[in-house]
Structure 1
Amino acid sequence: MTLRKLRAELAADQELGVGNVLSTLVARAGVDAESGITFDSEVDGHPAWRRLTLRDLDRAVAARAAWFHCAGIRPRDPVAVHVTTAADQVLAFFALTRIGAVPALLNTNMDGTTARAYLGKVRPRALLTDAAHRARLGNEPFPGVLHTDIADAAGGYEGQAPSQYRFHPSDAAVITHSSGTTGLPKPVTASHASLFAATRHRLTLPRPRTIDRMLSALPANHAAMVIAVTLALCSGIELLMLSDQDGKGVLAAVDRWQPSCVFGFAATWPQLVAEDLDRYRLDSVQMWWNTGDAAHEAHIRKLVSVGHRVVPKRGGVDRLPGATFMDGLGSSEMGHSMFFITHTPDTDRYNRCIGKPHVFAEVAVLDERGLPLPAGRIGELGIKSPTLSPGYWNDSVTTYRTRRSGYFLTGDLVYRDEAGYYYHVDRVVDTVSLSGGRYLHTAQSEEQILAGCPEVLDCTVIAVAEDESTVATEVLVSLAAGGPAPGDLQARVRAALDEHVAATVRSVIVVADEDIPHGPTGKVRKAILRERYKERTARAAAAAGGKAETV
């Protein structure tokens, strides 16, 4: 069967979803098909960095499904997976969905205290860990929970594996979690159909040549990982899954494996451009593909200056210097990026432009009453899409609070221009109201600083309402490697900002990356930074005898 015919058949198969992708491919394409996945760790004696074929994957998954089944895991059981390697995450996901259980995938970087609290919210039937994560969770048992080391599961007898569970489209297929930037990460449910909806759409389109060999620098627990894996297997794309998203490690993997596409989050790109890109072989890259938070222009421009792109011309194609960068905005709850825009060295539509919606998405900019706003007005982003999560696991209150007028409220503030392009300005929780009906949007301010101060590699803007009429802003910046802090840095930062925002700036502080608190997925935890600012100002006021001082 040709790949084109297989893709068409998969797109038309209404029983296909994220819960049965592997078994469907084995049945339709056979175990000798070209699809497969490469991991950066050994799998059942199979060396790291060597592709596992469909046959290899099917055997590894069957062994684990048999072991889980013999251990008592049954259909519809939620099973937490807190492990280190991408291989363990992906194979556990496939094996549990073969049984019909619901894998709850935890980010490998989640600390023990947070993980315990999160598991208390999920209430899993079983917990799969490795030695490192069991130690992190501590010795206190989880009452009523079957616990096992993930390494044991590889010893199952594949002949005892149950047959593929038959999913209904609305069945829960996997639980992932939000970034946890404002508190405890929220468990996000994805259904068999919802997390496959965007892949089904892509299978109806021509297979793009820019993603024939894809490196995933995504956290292996994330919904985006499930999408990347299912898209790759269904499209005959070679896929490398990395277990760590550290910038140097990602660049070293690109140098070694020579992908045509690199898939990652916005938090990864500043780590890449902080390095000397000329030291790595990056010419194979045709596309950098971003999801999650929108990426910054300063980082995009550096990445599209390396690699190459192929453009059609009369009688053939041209190979031009400089890759493309596919940007968008997505989240675990959205199930897939809702927007897309492609940047090249020649494009200049930035200022946090996230592009236009995918054809499967209906989007609106809503006011506080849930009514649509016209072009040019900033409001909260509302989404209707077949990719949407059906809700939060064990949390119907939060599920219903995020719905308004039939839309899912993403928590993002955006606006639309007259040409139909959308722009992201901030998260609702990070925006502060100023006098005169103006607002301070922290993400938009960060964009302005990065665009106006080339010596700044990355920055975080923290805005705190000190009282009803006073807002204080603190700007935390990291500088390009080896670059000294300019004597006029504070003046330059203020000059890059809108006048009404610049007037609120109390301090500009050069920090190291380790000084910034990040969530498990790499997002900055601004809520913690705001609390730290309030504590410092309170201490300063107490030391001054009750008179607040500028910090």
Structure 2
Amino acid sequence: MKSLRARLAADPEIGTGNVLHRVIAHGADLDGPGLTFDTPVDHYPAEHPLTLGELDERVQARTAWLHEHGIGRRDVVAIWATDAADIVLSFLALTRRGAIPALMNGKMAPPIADEYIRRLRVTAVLADAAHRPLLQTEVLAEPHELGTGDPAKAPEHYRHHADDPVVITHTSGTTGVPKAVLHSHTTLYAALKHLLTMPQAQGTDRILNALPIPHTATVLMVNQVLGNRAQMLLLSSQDAPDVLRQIERWKPRAVYGFAVTWAGLAREDLSKHDLDSVRMWFNTGDCAHEPHIRKLVAVGTRETVTRAGRTTVKGSHFVDGLGSSEMGHNGFHITHTIDSDHYGRCIGKPYQFATAAVLSSTGDELPAGKVGLLGFRSPSVSPGYWNDSVNTYRFRLNGWFLTGDLAYRDDSGHYFHLDRIPDAVAGFEGPQLFTSMSEERILAAIPEVVDCTVVILNQDGRYVADVLLELTPDAENVDRTAAVKAAVGEDVAAIIRKVGAVGAEEVPVTVTGKVRKVALREERLTGADA
């Protein structure tokens, strides 16, 4: 008899909208793992490990509530909340009704949240007690109220077609109102179907989810752990101290997060914490910086095979790559250990279900070593932006989805990330000035720098660069301009105007922790940073 994972991989009906339902239909043990949340779920206390049956019953209650309040097929329902349970359980119930949940990050500014909701043209809004009074938009209910429904009155699960829209997530909003990214029943599950046919990665039986909860990545993780019959604790906060505390308490074997979380962990003295349970760190979104990775792979443990057999050794794995909401899953992957030396913003090779290319401005594929636009093809790619055909087609070129990144490929097929297009000065001819690669070089060269931001702008007809350094608490108060210029290379060194130390709170970030370089450029152009 095929294993459950094999049956799920072969199931023509399974997709993002019905994973919980299909896992149960294929005979998964109802007393097996469901999900664990860091806040109470109805009558269950915080961190109670919901069984699969308990999870299904709580989702059925919410489905009944939605049905009684007229929410059904194709209704777009925005969810603005902080607690992981509010967002994930609402998502599962809404997809069971055939509705389209639109997940919103709780850190979004209220005026932007109202405008984002307006652009979605929603049927209803669910907002928790903290966010409800911040909205001008009418709110149907708080997410926890859905748990008062009678699970016995839940209607049958909506039957999804392959192309049905099932969830809307949003981009980081580095330039203002985030773009609303649509995912269909099959696109967001395509990568997971492939992974179900592969051996499970080391550590993925017990996962700490430190990804932003309303992000595409968390939707993927919920569906992945349900299919793998694994345990997962979902954190409502991704701040480094909270993540460290939960690693020590809950003893995960894998931790999933964004680059901002790894930067936060790297600021801590990890030797003072018990991190031996961690076998793997998994990064998605922006690729991570080498010094942050090196600090993480130095802790934890991993299993390896020697002549004496399987043994556990000091040091963990770090799986890096590059992903985005639009890509539907990490598109690239590379694994680091203590012994790794393949850094320099290497994002590895595409997954087997995907293809990539470095493109010219006309969509022609460029040869190895040539910098260009990163193009991506995969069955996981989003169909487009909700209610926004202009941007949907702006990011398509000659059959490729444009990720918005500048990259190059080496002769071995490994891809290297240089910068986001809006943050760089890099045409196919002329100056090649990259902020992300400059930050990578500074971090690798100057040990007392724990994080940094490089901003390039055109001022009075010439390019200038400002460098903001976040330093260790014991760092000396000295001028580091010479060291920075030596690290970044001649082209960027020639335009550096200012190098200064800043606190982390002085660097504006998006709701997912990405630096808002557009805001920093505007400050400098208007003189607001003086």
Give, in whole Å, the separation in 2 of the partners of 1:37 and 1:360: 27
Q: Is the 8 A contact 1:111 1:136 kept in 2?
A: no
Give, in whole Å, the separation in 2 of the partners of 1:31 and 1:434: 56
Q: Is the 8 A contact 2:344 2:416 kept in 1?
A: yes
Of 40, 43, 62 in structure 2, the residue corresponding to residue 42 of structure 1 is 40
Of 300, 306, 323 in structure 1, the residue corresponding to residue 299 of structure 2 is 306
Of 215, 232, 241 in structure 2, the residue corresponding to residue 239 of structure 1 is 232
Other structure's SS at 1:29 match? coil
- In the alignment, which residue of structure 1 is the partner of 2:526? 535
- In the alignment, which residue of structure 2 is the partner of 1:118? 116
Of 102, 127, 130 in structure 2, the residue corresponding to residue 129 of structure 1 is 127
Shift of 1:159: 1.2
Within 5 A, what are the aligned runs for 1:136-535? 136-137=134-135, 140-142=136-138, 147-314=140-307, 316-433=309-426, 437-468=430-461, 470-480=462-472, 482-535=473-526
Shift of 1:210: 2.1
Shift of 1:484: 2.6
Shift of 1:237: 1.3
**More moved, 455-464 vs 310-319:** 310-319
Give, in whole Å, the separation in 1 of the partners of 2:202 and 2:426: 46
Q: Tell me which stretches of 4 or more aligned residues in structure 1 moved more than 3 Å.
A: 433-436
Give the TM-score taking structure 2 as reference length.
0.98
Shift of 1:47: 1.4
Q: Is the 8 A contact 2:42 2:144 kept in 1?
A: no
Give, in whole Å, the separation in 2 of the partners of 1:433 and 1:151: 49
- In the alignment, which residue of structure 1 is the partner of 2:74? 76
What residue identity is the alignment partner of 2:63? A
Shift of 1:467: 3.6
Shift of 1:436: 7.9
Deviation track 1:222-243 (CA, whole Å, cap 9, x = no partner) reads: 1100111111110011111000
Give, in whole Å, the separation in 2 of the partners of 1:149 and 1:88: 9
Q: Is the 8 A contact 2:202 2:280 kept in 1?
A: no
- In the alignment, which residue of structure 2 is the partner of 1:543? none
Shift of 1:278: 1.9
**Does residue 84 of structure 2 align to residue 93 of structure 1?**
no
Q: Is the 8 A contact 2:319 2:336 kept in 1?
A: yes
Other structure's SS at 2:79 match? strand
Identity across the alignment (%): 50
Q: Is the 8 A contact 1:432 1:465 kept in 2?
A: no
Other structure's SS at 2:252 match? coil
Shift of 1:374: 0.2
Give, in whole Å, the separation in 1 of the partners of 2:323 and 2:185: 19
Give the TM-score taking structure 1 as reference length.
0.94
State the aligned residue count: 530
Deviation track 1:481-533 (CA, whole Å, cap 9, x = no partner) reads: x2234413121111111112111111112111111111111111000000001
What residue identity is the alignment partner of 2:72? R
Q: Is the 8 A contact 1:329 1:337 kept in 2?
A: yes
Q: Is the 8 A contact 1:434 1:440 kept in 2?
A: no
- In the alignment, which residue of structure 2 is the partner of 1:22? 20
Other structure's SS at 1:519 match? coil
What residue identity is the alignment partner of 1:472? V
Q: Is the 8 A contact 1:479 1:485 kept in 2?
A: no
Give, in whole Å, the separation in 1 of the partners of 2:405 and 2:516: 16
Give, in whole Å, the separation in 1 of the partners of 2:485 and 2:446: 10
Other structure's SS at 2:108 match? coil
Change (3 A) 1:436 1:75: closer
Shift of 1:209: 3.1
Shift of 1:277: 1.0
Other structure's SS at 2:257 match? strand
Unaligned 5+ residue runs, structure 2?
none
Shift of 1:30: 4.3
Q: Is the 8 A contact 1:247 1:268 kept in 2?
A: yes
